[in-house]
Structure 1
């Protein structure tokens, strides 16, 4: 037998936060869906209706009995003829073709009887999703229609209504009606999309909890400065020059090992850290969330900026030092904010013309 050394685990590719250590690994929302029972699935459906109500002119949920193949009716406009159907089916496995055909058969039967018009769209909503066989048929409307016709007697005929021995034959005018229907109206909502839709409701956090987001390790700045770095780096160089009481200073004139060189390189690292935090926030927070964070930073350091300092460099150092003391506990990004971000936000504020290291009129 060959003996092999066990390699050490690879280092994490994301920043480990106190939130992640406290909460442990989050349970994926898809796994939550797999343990739903019929009652909790009904609750989730009601919560989704809350979201759908914001997307349609009117949304109704049919009662358990006599729904005629309809669960959630969503009216696209005030006209009753323009509606969509969400058929919410709870099973402990993926929705099969035969069960879907039965539901399709119901909606077609009652539409043919003029109980209602056909929906413009019909969606299956199931916690485990749909079977591969059903998915193939939903992706091919002709194949789905032929399957319904071929399997009608087996899966639909005696199950359309709850009446005993009430066999519904697919023949005559009813068959002609089915043959004219555009079966592309039938579709499904994948489980991952169900979760995405549910995330727009006020119930999402209490249902699925708050996922622990993973922020990647801080990026290194590129070797050459980019366009969005010109303003804050120029302001920093001006601050260095102010401390030396000279008119200007360039990057090439910064001596290796000097405090100025160290601060310049640190400033670039910090700027890119804050830039990364801003991009990270875009993936899961409202659009203006990061602006609110930099607004807090401005309010925290503005008094320090306005204080009297011997030169722009001293103002920069004092402001950066004060920025690191801030705790943004009220902001959802709080667990992910590092010291580099706090300093980097100051450079972003300089880029946004919120303040300069040298007071107007001095240079």
Structure 2
């Protein structure tokens, strides 16, 4: 028997937070979507409308029993419309269930209640069955199946008032007016992607599903975005030494050189935090974090200090001890970020080390 050495698993190259340790591995979004009940799915439908409203001229929801086979209606600029049939089912949406909904659309458009939409999407948290998917991908197959199943799925189930016979006139209408290519579905993964573009996403799926990448190392040469805060830091060094300290002679001051490189790492750490927050939090979230940092350090900045470097050290210590427990990024903020926020404030001309 050959013995094979067992290698240790490779850890993901992400920052592990306290949230990861206390809650364990996050529930995949697709699994979480499957746990929602009917009431929660209705709420998510409304939250999706918030996203769709940014894509269409107008979006409305038909509520109650009088929706006539329509759920969420999205109007395009040329007044055409698309239908999002957002239904909750305990299992994947079946062909029979879809046939009933298609039958409603055909019947009520035939009666003149509304025009035929240019697209019709089934939106369900469990997705669609393989059988239904195969029919949605083949419009002629879907049409044939509708006709075949009409008596069982549509004749008595569209309205309780009367039976709807698939007579010659209705068949002619289906042949001449219904393009079965309009029928499609939105897969669960795409539902999650659409929902991620709303401000409700973190509340539904949790911040623990986000993995913050490790900060990049500062480049060997200063970037243009670094000139302000690094110049201010060099002035603080010079203020302490009562002589000019620059990039040219910085190596002659080992303590300052070490702090200079540390400051650059902290700056890039906070920069990475900002980029990380852009993808899933409101655009002003990082600005709010900067504002909170400023309110924390401003009394120390305004106090008297023997020189600019002493001010810098006191402010850095104050910033490092700040608890941002009320901020959405709380679990992702490291000490390096807290110090780096100060350099971002310097870049924004809100803080100076040397008065």
Shift of 1:314: 1.8
Gaps spanning 5+ residues in structure 2: where? none
Residue 112 of structure 2 corresponds to 114
Between 179-188 and 284-293, the greater mean CA deviation after superposition: 179-188
**Superposed CA offset, 1:39-93 (max 9, x none):** x235412542365378346422242xx765x15243649xxx8654332344555
Aligned to 1:24: 24
Is this contact kept in 2: 1:85–1:119, CA < 8 A? yes
Partner of 2:61: 59
**Corresponding residue for residue 123 of structure 1:** 121
Residue in 2 aligned with 1:189?
Answer: 186
CA distance in 2 between partners of 1:201 and 1:331 (Å): 15
Is the Cα–Cα contact under 8 Å of residues 49 and 59 in structure 2 kept in the other structure? no
**Aligned mates of 1:134, 1:266 — CA distance in 2:** 59
Instruction: Provide TM-score, normalisation by structure 2.
Output: 0.84
Aligned-pair distance for 1:244? 2.0
Alignment partner of 1:281 is 2:280: no
Structure 1 pair 196–299 and aligned structure 2 pair: CA distance change class (3 A): same
Cα–Cα, structure 1 residues 210 and 178, in superposed 2: closer, same or farther, change >3 Å? Answer: farther
**Match of residue 304 from structure 1:** 300
Distance 2:50 2:144 in 1: 37
| Aligned partner of residue 152 in structure 2, secondary structure | coil
Give 1:155's aligned residue: 149
Residue 10 of structure 1: aligned partner: 10
Shift of 1:233: 1.0
Q: 1:50 to 1:271 in 2, by over 3 A?
A: closer
- Equivalence for 1:220: 217
Matches within 5 A, 1:1-363: 1-35=1-35, 40-41=37-38, 43-49=40-46, 52=49, 55=53, 56=58, 58-63=60-65, 68=68, 70-74=69-73, 76=75, 83-91=81-89, 93-97=91-95, 99-131=97-129, 134-135=132-133, 138=136, 143-144=138-139, 146-162=140-156, 168-169=165-166, 171-172=168-169, 174-197=171-194, 200=198, 205=203, 208-246=205-243, 248-255=244-251, 258-359=254-355
Q: Is the 8 A contact 1:122 1:186 kept in 2?
A: yes
Partners of 2:252 and 2:151 in 1: CA distance = 86
- Structure 1 spans left out of the alignment, 5+ residues: none
2:201 and 2:326 map into 1 onto residues whose CA distance is: 21
TM-score (norm 1): 0.82
The alignment covers a number of residue pairs equal to: 345
Superposed CA offset, 1:247-289 (max 9, x none) = x332231226710110111111010001011111112211111
Q: Distance in 1 between matches of 2:237 and 2:264?
A: 15
**What SS does structure 1 have at the residue aligned with 2:85?**
strand
Against the structure 1 CA distance between its residues 267 and 204, is the aligned structure 2 distance closer, same or farther, given a 3 Å change threshold? closer
Residues 155-210 of structure 1, C-alpha deviations (whole Å, 9 max, x = no match): 224321327995733644632443333444323222133335556476973x5555
What is the CA–CA distance in structure 2 between the aligned matches of 1:152 and 1:184, rounded to whole Å?
14
Shift of 1:354: 0.7
